[in-house]
Amino acid sequence: MLICRSPERIASDKLPIFTTPTRTRTTMTQDSRFAAMPDANGYFGPYGGQLVPPHLKQAMDDINLAYEEIRQREDFQQELAALFADYVGRPSPIFHARRLSEQLGGAQIHLKREDLNHTGAHKINHCLGEALLAKFMGKQKVIAETGAGQHGVALATACALVGIPCEIHMGQVDIEKEHPNVTKMKILGCKLVPVIRGAATLKEAVDSAFEEYLKDPRNYLYAIGSVVGPHPFPKMVRDFQSIIGTEARAQFLAKHGRLPDQVVACVGGGSNAMGMFTAFLEDAAVELVGIEPAGESLDKPGRHSATLSKGKPGELHGMACYVLEDAEGNPSPVHSIASGLDYPGVGPQHSYLKDLGRVNYQTATDQQCLDAFMTLSRVEGIIPALESAHAVAWAIRAAPTLPQDTHILVNLSGRGDKDADYVARLLGL
């Protein structure tokens, strides 16, 4: 167990960046289902892998070998730990939302404040890792997609820091919706590529970015924005993001002498959720809850993005995972009020955890998300990202049904600066 003088401030350089925290008497014994994921071929049970052409498989294998070597290097570890502490501002605190909890009259709601990170979301965690990896590998350009723009801003920030050119592909619909983040990316010096094909949202941005990467995989690094895509990206992004849960577990134990009863996070691709869940997978008493976007309704195909709730096993973007498909077997149109969640697939580890029953995947509608966005803003003075507001919505829904000595820990994955004008227009504010 990690011990510190202050439960809210744990030195980042004391936290293991790539490992789960030491098991305590509050946990279950080692569970082989969670001990080593993925396997050597990049599979989480039947999900994941490298479903790509041979030449691209070689590029993925090269990235995996470089990552496994570089992640062990002391200079890489030290530089990343220093940046987490002095650049990102880690550890992020846990805040007890007392007024919200009192108003709801049930469980205690706590927020892991990833919204306080530099750039305003959890995305900076893996973007710094990927940018540093690109630097250590001698890459000449980093390419990525973005939905809500948080990954784009974070990667543009990290690339500016390490001095590597950055190219971000973004759907035209999201560009118009997320103007503040678009402006930030341009200020940070990245090349922004608008994507107008198809629905012009996140899936199309992924397609476009991947095409650019394939032009020169030797000199480019594709910095995937979530725990998705071909191996090793689901593993790599998870590893960099696992600092969220590692911190949170230690902080909660230090402050309360126990673990939370529920740990909750929104799920699109699934990076913030895997970052939070990984440290708690072997804690049998902790219920893990992932919240997908129900959009306008689960009964309206194409108007939600609840992949794990309504999809089925399939293939997308070089991986086997749950997929939302149309009648012809093509990826279905998707929708969410939160641009970072409107993706027809999901991370392969999430797909596996669903099948195992280890994570309880639920949904929140656009309206529930909006209500939670405004409630947290008005009651606690915290404006959440619309993505994060899905997790807050579940907590608001669940808390009144639970005893007052129950503790819900929500990963507040990002702040709502990017969404404020959009929400104001929707609500006529």
Q: Any idea which architecture 42-87+123-238 has in CATH?
A: 3-Layer(aba) Sandwich (3.40)
Stretch(es) of the chain classified as CATH 3.40.50.1100: 42-87+123-238, 91-120+242-427
DSSP secondary structure string for all residues of 162-207: HT--EEEEEEHHHHHH-HHHHHHHHHTTPEEEEE-STT-SHHHHHH
Exposure string of 45-69, with b = 16+ CB inside 10 Å and e = fewer, is bebbbbbbeeebbebbeebbebbee
pLDDT at 201: 87
How many Cβ atoms are within 10 Å of 339's Cβ, its own excluded? 29
Mark whether 123 is an active-site residue. Answer: yes
Q: Any idea which architecture 91-120+242-427 has in CATH?
A: 3-Layer(aba) Sandwich (3.40)
pLDDT at 35: 63
Mark whether 413 is an active-site residue. Answer: yes
The catalytic position among 12, 92, 101, 123 is 123
Those residues of the chain that have pLDDT short of 70 are 1-33, 35
The catalytic position among 271, 332, 388, 413 is 413
pLDDT at 202: 81
pLDDT at 214: 86
Write the burial class of residue 142 (CB in 10 Å: 0-12 exposed, 13-18 middle, 19+ buried): buried
Give, in order, the Cα–Cα distances in Å from 201 to each of 18, 70, 266. 32, 34, 19
The catalytic position among 114, 145, 204, 380 is 145
pLDDT at 138: 96
Mark whether 339 is an active-site residue. Answer: no
pLDDT at 31: 54
Report field, pTM of the whole predicted structure over 0.85: yes
